[in-house]
Structure 1
Amino acid sequence: MQRIGKIASVGAVAVAAAFSLSACGDDSTSASAQQPSQPSAPAAPSSSAAQAAGTKGRECTADDIKTTGTFGQAPTITIPDDCDPPKKLITKDLVAGTGNGAKAGQKVSMNYSLVTWSDKQKLDSSFDRGQTFDLTLGAGEVIPGWDQGLVGIKQGGRRLLIIPPDLGYGQGGNGIAPNETLVFVTDAVTVPNDKS
């Protein structure tokens, strides 16, 4: 079952219904360029204020998320308990890949594994099904976090995506809780070699 398109069931978390993403392709942690700019951040709350507000006092970064495996292997994803989910899209290349980076309008084939932030459990994995997920990047076939976060990924590349609720499933549905942050490890199985 596909979960990334229009999540058809709890066992299939296609990355999206009527959402579209476009993204950051560098191999450093980055926020989506399409996000509105934020005013300068206020000082971090003291630990007692953070605990009172139900937060850990800092947002997690890509480096806080631990993964195992390399391209083509089903990954494990470990989300820490000592930081809050980020509020902006974060991408990080775990394996660089080769060739041209994926662009909007291109059909790509991906493998992925998804862990939900709130319960730190794997919710979906194309690796487990043994079937890649095909999509046209930037066409709104998937959630915005994918359309944005996969731009620039190269064939053979593995990328971590940390997707905030507004670029994921928002109010939830199809097995995703409301306001859920999604953590994907994605492998670019096929990216067109654009000669132009």
Structure 2
Amino acid sequence: MFGRKQDPPLTVDAPVVDEPPQPTPSGKGRPTPKRKEAEARNKRPLVPADRRAAAREARAKARVQRDLEYQAMRNGDERHMPARDRGPVRRYVRDSIDARWNLGEFFLPFAAFCLVLQLVTAISAPLVAEISLVVLYAYIVTAMFDVAMMWRGLKKRLVAKFGAEALPRGLAMYAVMRAFQLRPMRLPKPRVQHGQHPA
């Protein structure tokens, strides 16, 4: 009763401890598939189930593509031309050859005339047949020399206009083959007349 007053008990606030963040669940959220299951799911048949139908569809697609390319070569639409005929370099080559009179473009009719002449005169006039054969060979040599000179001058102009690194491989054969075709049979169709050389 007369004793010492007892102090009220001290209350100490507990220190606030931040709880560690809960780890976010990692992984896919689903079990990893077995190897056999994954391989079975990724397997695709190399051969379609109906091979005949697939072949018919492929032929139809190829036919549509060929028709599109043929029409493009007739009307000059370069977007749908075959890759070997696209680009400014090949267009310049075509225009240069079409603007020039080439001995090669008359080779087929001249060769046909010489062969018919040989058949007609083989028995009645063998000398004429031999002469026509010699003339045909001389024409071939002259046409080859003509196309060689054509390519030599054309290559110089191509290098000056586009640069040597811009010339694709096989351009010489592309030019020679066009020079030996009859003008009406050339594809893509000629865009210039004889004498209208490109700039």
Compute the TM-score of the two structures, normalised by the length of structure 2.
0.21
Larger Rg: 2
TM-score, length-normalised on structure 1? Answer: 0.21
